[in-house]
Structure 1
Amino acid sequence: MNNMFQVCAKCGTPAITLNKEAVEDKTGKELNLSDKEKIYTCPNPSCEIAYFTKELTFKSEDLFVPLFYKDKSDNVPICYCSNLTRGEIKNAVKNGSKTIDDVQVFTGKNMTGNCKIKNPVGQCCRNAFLYEIEQALGQKPSGFDFKPCSCCS
């Protein structure tokens, strides 16, 4: 298994390396990984594989919460620290919110800082949050990536 470039065995999508704490939080399973063993996510929204290692596979249905990049419904969290959903972001934008701060004030959901564990990719939700606001505003979203941002690094 090549840890430099891993793909999902089910769909062939390039995988993203994660921290095990985020996966343990979503699966309820303690992962006893060696120092060299990695855990990955398949970011393909149409693939049922959520997380995988060389020997383990977790499907989206095996998780405690839906993954924002797999589930396009309004009740999926975008900010997992505050349990702020896609639908709440859409509603806040519909009522005049245009920024993350605006949405947090409107919803009263502004808890942050536990992204390493709460977010399903173990990184800040800022990029996904901005993506959702842009979509709700009718703008062409700039897209989100799975790279850490400066606010939570």
Structure 2
Amino acid sequence: MEINLHFSPSCPECFMPGQRVPLKTVKHLVKDPSQLSGIAGDFYICRTPDCKVVYYTEDMRFTRDDVKVRVWYKEEDPSVPVCYCKNVSKAEILKHVTEMKCCSSLEDIQGHTGANTGKACAVMNPTGL
């Protein structure tokens, strides 16, 4: 019996485990993709909201200042997109749910805002999802 355990490497700044991100995503979202020349390994995104690191590997890290977009869960500003393909913000979703009272499910939100219906998440969303 073979047991395969995969542990996400910890963020070098906050030491919390990250989430694997496709290299394609990192190449599209870092300001200087030339730094990734010759890189073929896994990248991870730090999921800690108050940590300045966005992407990291064992030998490399990119902070908020190094990426082209603001990462929605690392920002308090409700105008930051949560759906990057359709440019839908947390504020827009909250407006549909609380003010317009037209959305009570994910399907409703998708129908009214277009959120989570894009096709370019792998290169526009910082998580690659």
- TM bucket (normalised to shorter chain) is 0.7 to 0.9
* Structure 1 residues 45 and 109: alpha-carbon distance in aligned structure 2, compared to 1, 3 A threshold: closer
TM-score (norm 1): 0.68
Q: Which residue of 2 aligns with 1:89?
A: 93
2: CA distance between counterparts of 1:122 and 1:110?
A: 12
Question: In structure 2, which of residues 96, 102, 108 is the aligned counterpart of residue 102 of structure 1?
Answer: 108
* Structure 1 residues 56 and 88: alpha-carbon distance in aligned structure 2, compared to 1, 3 A threshold: same
Query: How many residues were matched structurally?
Result: 119
Q: Which residue of 1 aligns with 2:13?
A: 10
1: CA distance between counterparts of 2:24 and 2:104?
A: 32
* Alpha-carbon displacement from aligned partner over 1:19-76 (angstroms, at most 9, x marks no partner): 0111122213142313xx2211111111111111233211112221111221132111
Q: Which residue of 2 aligns with 1:141?
A: none
TM-score (norm 2): 0.79
2: CA distance between counterparts of 1:111 and 1:17?
A: 22
Q: Which residue of 2 aligns with 1:143?
A: none
How far 1:88 sits from its partner (Å)?
A: 0.5
Q: Which residue of 2 aligns with 1:116?
A: 122
Once the two structures are superposed, the pairs formed by residues 1-153 of structure 1 within 5 Å of their partners are 4-28=7-31, 29-30=33-34, 31-32=36-37, 33-34=39-40, 37-94=41-98, 95-96=100-101, 97-107=103-113, 111-123=117-129
Query: With CA pairs under 8 Å and 6+ residues apart, which has the higher RCO, 1 or 2?
Result: 2
Structure 1: runs of 5 or more not aligned: 124-153
How far 1:111 sits from its partner (Å)?
A: 4.6
* Structure 1 residues 49 and 105: alpha-carbon distance in aligned structure 2, compared to 1, 3 A threshold: same
What RMSD in Å do the two structures reach over aligned CA positions?
A: 2.1
Q: Which residue of 1 aligns with 2:3?
A: none
Matched residue type, 2:46: C
Matched residue type, 2:123: I
How far 1:4 sits from its partner (Å)?
A: 4.1
Larger radius of gyration: 2
Q: Which residue of 2 aligns with 1:142?
A: none
Structure 2: runs of 5 or more not aligned: 1-5
Greater shift after overlay, 75-84 or 103-112? 103-112
